[in-house]
Structure 1
Amino acid sequence: MSPIVLNIENMVCPRCVLMVEDLCKNLNIEIKKVELGKIELEKEVTGSKKQKLAQELEKIGLSLIESDKKSLINAIKTAILHQIYYSDKALQVNFSEYLSENLHHEYSYLSRLFSASENMTIEKYIALQKIEKAKELLSLKKHRISEIAHQLHYKNTSHFSTQFKELTGQTPSQYKKNPSQERKMLDSFHQSQDFETK
């Protein structure tokens, strides 16, 4: 029997997982597990309880996803965020293969769906997320720029520096000296045009 899953939009960090677990417990919803982007249930939730869950999720900036296409877009984002922010292992394949294998769809389909919904390509979304992670690492001032480039799996430091400047208007060195530029929330990129490439 296939698992009963509710897909949740905007779950981007481990803290979101804990909040959703608490919320389900308070609503007496029996869960098997909660992961980034989804709740796996012991049994189906319907009617007023599902409506209450949706309302409570909205209060903490999350939302239930009802459409299959929206669920798939959320799964793409979750897979990318997980790899960039939370995985200790470097990808052994490129992102297109990683997404295709994990989400069981041809990459060309995922790419078209994502671009149509988010007004940016998957590649652009990946680049933006890498730059946000780089900003976090640069602001800690514990890592050399070459180490950050390596950690984020850039081909070389030059490629990292070029992309960083293209998307932020500063070099990594400039940002490291004065990390005053506001960082973006992980789930806010499709709502903003701040990072259009020049």
Structure 2
Amino acid sequence: MKLFIKYMVSLRCKMMVKEELHKLGIHPMTVDLGMVELAEDLSEMQLLRLKTNLKKSGLELLDDKKSIIIEKIKNIIVEMIHYSDELPKVNYSDYISEHLGYDYTYLANIFSEVKGITIQQFIILHKIEKVKELLIYDELNLTEISYKMHYSSVAHLSNQFKKVTGLTPTFYKNLKNKRKKNLENI
């Protein structure tokens, strides 16, 4: 039996789900972002208790097909951008379509209809979040970040960053440095 869980986007969420399953005496075969695979089916009572316990933790058990597909799309994007060492060399649309086994147009239409933004906009938002993280860590310069995140140029990254955040990457990085200096002066 497979269960799909909304808002399960981090390793901490995975640990929380495992813990909730173990409390109910359920031993999962696998626990991945957004999905749990069980060897046996759950009783109605177990399912209801799991749903209730997950909700207390800010997670939600999904049961309709569209919601499940959207969560799968979101989890693929989050894992691709935030948890893999390198972004795929193929188009994101091909990557997502290949992983889910659906036509990309179908996936894009469902995603836009329910989320109110396109898959591409969702990817851009997550790429910018990753860029912010990389700027704060201060291990890579802007050229290296743009290469790592598959931007065609530093200018392209900077323009997209400013569109999303209202700030330039350099200004954002300097804000972090100013905050650090202010904290040191306290």
Structure-1-length-normalised TM-score = 0.87
In structure 1, stretches of 5+ residues that fail to align are 181-198
Paired with 1:31 and 1:105, the residues of 2 have a C-alpha distance of 26
Quick one: distance in 2 between partners of 1:152 and 1:56?
A: 37
Give me the CA root mean square deviation.
1.1
2:42 counterpart residue number? 45
Matches within 5 A, 1:99-178: 99-178=96-175
Once the 2 structures are TM-superposed, how far is the Cα of residue 146 of structure 1 from its aligned partner? 1.1
CA distance in 2, matches of 1:27, 1:117: 32
Runs of 4+ in 1 over 3 A off after TM superposition: none
Judge conservation of contact 1:36–1:78 (CA < 8 Å) in 2: yes
Could you tell me how far 1:88 is from its partner in structure 2?
Answer: 1.4
Match of 1:85 in 2: 82
Count of residue pairs brought into register by the alignment: 177
1:30, 1:43 within 8 Å by CA — same for their partners in 2?
no
TM-score by length of 2: 0.92
* Deviation sequence 1:112-155 (CA, Å, 0-9, x none): 00000000000000000000111111112222111111111111
CA contact (8 A) 1:138 1:179 kept: no
Identity %: 39
Please tell me the residue identity of whatever aligns with 2:131.
Answer: A
User: How far, CA to CA, are the matches of 1:151 and 1:59 in structure 2?
Assistant: 37
Aligned position for 2:183: none
1:75 to 72, 75, 87: 72
Unaligned runs of 5+ in 2: 178-186
Structure 2: how far apart are the matches of 1:90 and 1:84?
6
